[in-house]
Structure 1
């Protein structure tokens, strides 16, 4: 079973408290909802459904979780922390209506403030997730903590999440394993005459069967529809010779790994082979630049340099690497001028892509663990496809 232990959540809280002391914060509220869940899940394991949530960390004592009535039992089931409070302002994200829950036992932000002040002077409170929080809720918080300095503390969580523990890596590796199985099935079953939705459904079904907690997306386009950076599967019928661009993201215990490798339904043209060859070679060259202590900008420069050599720079639309973890795309997200350095324990996605090329648009994407010696790919499938492509210019999942 892939889990983040209670002890690991406690260690995260201790690290956050250290950062809070450095910033002279007496409390930190970490906000999240169904759509921006990452920081909240990192600190509490709670992942709201329909509603809003938060975890309050103070310098003394255990954190407590803030939820809404409809999801209370769900929160208690998931949360790493046993103390759960309910706030009426945290009810359903998608409606402005006030929803009545006559049996709910509510607290208030004013009561929470008084409780914290009863333990220690409260001069400054940090908030993680200000950018994701609706303005009316932020106003309620500001009013409830009037005369107390409120500061943006997003950077504290980004700093804590930048490198991963062995447990976090294990969750990502399991997500990648499951994604491999779903993606492999799409390659095996893709054929002219089926719709994009039918092909995507194979991945959804297989990944669920394999134990995915969630499938954040299965982007899938074919034929002319690949001339886009992202796209959802549609009712379009796949034709013979259609290039398929499919990116499959799988979530396990909150952690998301992604796989993507170009393939063609039916017969592949020589032009399509040449296009895929550029992507494979660009990624292989970039991978050689990844190891602890190396500058992240070398990955970007290597890909861009190879694309320039192959005269495809006009189809290179964004950087070829980004972080991964509790979000499919998270820091780091380097460009050619980045001064950031790789550290052992970072997890990143190679995301080498070309869009709008006359012979197709596509990307190669796989999740990687940065090590002292280089990297470890979490996707056995992408490594296999890349290796066999270089040997024979064919796509075989066997």
Structure 2
């Protein structure tokens, strides 16, 4: 079974504590909710459902999880840590009402502070996810921790999450495998007369059957609707010759792999083929720059130089690579001036795209593991589609 074992969560906490020591942080609160789940999942393996959550990591002693009443048993089922406490401020995120849970055994921010102080002086509290905490909750934390220096510690988790372990890579590889199967269904079944929503439903069904924990998104636009960076599937009827821009993100044990490769329903025009030619070659140039020790900015420069050569720079709207992991897009997100280097074990997505071009808008995206000598693609399908396109200018699944 693909999962992150308990000992890996323990190791993550110890790495976090080493960074906390360097910054003089006595305790760290890692916040998360249903949408901003990545840091909370990394430290605690908890992914709240319409409530808030947190893991508190003291500089010494066992971490504990903060949850809310409706998700308590769900939290206990998922959590990497046995100590789960309920906080009324973490109740349902979508309403201003104070909901009564008469059987809930709540703790309080005061009790949390007092417990942390029993382990030693509490002079500095680091908060991860401070940008995602609602203002009223942030004010309550500030009030109950008055006299404690509260600092943004988000960079500590971004630093830890940058390179992936073998277990993390395995989760991403499984997510990519499932995404491949969903995309195959889309290419096989797409036909004029069906709606974008019908096409997307095939992806959801196949990916769920294959074992996806979640499908964070399935983007589908067609025809004139591809003239956008992202787009949800609609009731638009797909017509013969419509370019399809579709992207599938699949989540396994919290880890998200994404793929996108342009295709056309029905007859493909020569202009559409020429457009896809540019994207395929641009991604090849991006891939040629990925290796441990290489500059991340070289990927960006290589793609931008090729787009300039082909006179399509006007349709190049954002950098062609970003990190992937517990979020579909995470650090690194380099531009042309980045000095950061690739490291073996990093996981990144190519995201080579053109939008607003006269003959279509689309991207090629695949998840990769950086190696000492280059990269390993997690999507066998994207590599196969790229190879068959370069050989025959057709999209063949065989």
TM-score by length of 1: 1.00
* Cα distance between partner residues in 2 of 1:250 and 1:193: 27
1:42 is aligned to 2:46? no
Q: Secondary structure at the match of 1:318?
A: coil
Q: 3-state DSSP class of the match of 1:8?
A: helix
Structure 1: distance between partners of 2:384 and 2:298: 25
- State the 1:2 CA deviation: 0.9
Distance in 2 separating the partners of 1:71 and 1:233:
31
CA shift, 1:71, in A, is 0.4
Deviation at 1:339, TM superposition (A): 0.5
Q: Provide the C-alpha distance between the structure 2 equivalents of 1:107 and 1:258, rounded to a whole number of angstroms.
A: 39
Q: Which residue of 2 aligns with 1:236?
A: 236
Q: Deviations over 1:24-48 (max 9, x none)?
A: 0110000000010000000000000
Q: Distance in 1 between matches of 2:132 and 2:177?
A: 31
Q: 1:119: Cα distance to partner?
A: 1.4
Are 1:205 and 2:205 an aligned pair? yes
Over residues 128-151 of structure 1, what are the superposed CA-to-partner deviations in whole Å (9 max), with x where a residue is unaligned? 011000000001100110001000
Match of 2:41, SS state, is: helix
Following the alignment from structure 2 to structure 1, what is the Cα–Cα distance between the partners of residues 228 and 397?
26
Determine helix, strand or coil for the equivalent of 1:302.
helix
Matching of residues 253-332 of structure 1 within 5 Å? 253-332=253-332
Rounded Cα–Cα distance in structure 1 between residues aligned with 2:162 and 2:259: 21
Deviations 1:107-138 (A, max 9, x none): 00111111111110110000001100000000
Give CA-to-partner distance per residue, 1:226-276, whole Å, 9 cap, x none: 000000000000000000000000000000000100000001000000000
CA distance in 2, matches of 1:116, 1:332: 34
| Equivalence for 2:59 | 59
Matching residue of 2:176: 176
Displacement, 1:95?
Answer: 0.5
Q: Does 1:227 align with 2:227?
A: yes
Cα offset for 1:60? Answer: 1.1
Q: Where in structure 1 are there 5+ consecutive unaligned residues?
A: none
Kindly tell me the number of residue pairs found equivalent between the two proteins.
398
SS in 1 for 2:131: helix
Where does residue 353 of structure 1 map in the other structure? Answer: 353
Which residue matches 2:336? 336
**Distance across 1 between alignment mates of 2:159 and 2:211:** 30
Alignment of 1:99-248 (within 5 A): 99-248=99-248
Deviations 1:272-302 (A, max 9, x none): 0000000000000110100000000000000
Q: Where does the alignment leave 5 or more consecutive residues of structure 2 unmatched?
A: none
Work out the CA distance in 2 between the residues paired with 1:270 and 1:306. 20
State the secondary structure of the residue aligned to 2:156: helix
Per the alignment, residue 397 of structure 2 pairs with: 397
Taking structure 2 as the reference length, the TM-score comes to 1.00
Deviations 1:144-167 (A, max 9, x none): 100010000000000000000000
